[in-house]
Amino acid sequence: MATVIMNTARTENGYSCACDLLPGWVVACSGDFEQFKKEVEDSIKFYIDCAKEDGDEYPAVFDEEYEIVYKFNVQSLLEFYRGIFSFSSLETITGINQKQLAHYASGISKPRPKQAEKIANGLHKLAKEMMVVTV
């Protein structure tokens, strides 16, 4: 099964993404992530249907089974969630100095791949821990 990467950002009211396989194609949606994923799937289907109807070329991956992977922009995630988590908390979660996290969130610097992976792993670990919380 092929993987289609969506370069995704968290926005003030929702989410947006673009895909390198579909030049000029962008989706933005207010609301929750589940609504956004549905919009992405619907938009891809519409894009491909129009391309077929018009006789335009499009990536063959969309004729097969494929999996959509949402690759989040570190800057937009940190900027959005800074109102929920302090940089001190994010330092504890990720192991990255809070001053450096603030630089990533503001766009002053961009994390190296290893740093971005540490941020992602820390947030994934937190999410897994939150999933096992029982009431």
Q: Are 96 and 118 in contact (CB under 8 A)?
A: yes
Give the domain 2-72 fold. Double Stranded RNA Binding Domain (3.30.160)
Residue 64 belongs to what H/E stretch?
none
Domain spans, the chain: 2-72, 74-131
Q: What's the CA gap between 132 and 116, in Å, rounded?
A: 25
Q: Which of 47, 48, 28 is nearest to 39 (CA)?
A: 28
- 115, two tokens: 């740093």
- 117, two tokens: 């992976």
pTM: 0.76
Which pLDDT tens digits describe the chain residue by residue (135 residues)?
A: 899 999 999 888 899 999 999 989 999 999 889 999 999 999 999 999 999 999 999 999 999 999 999 998 888 888 877 778 888 999 998 999 999 999 998 889 999 999 999 998 998 888 888 888 766
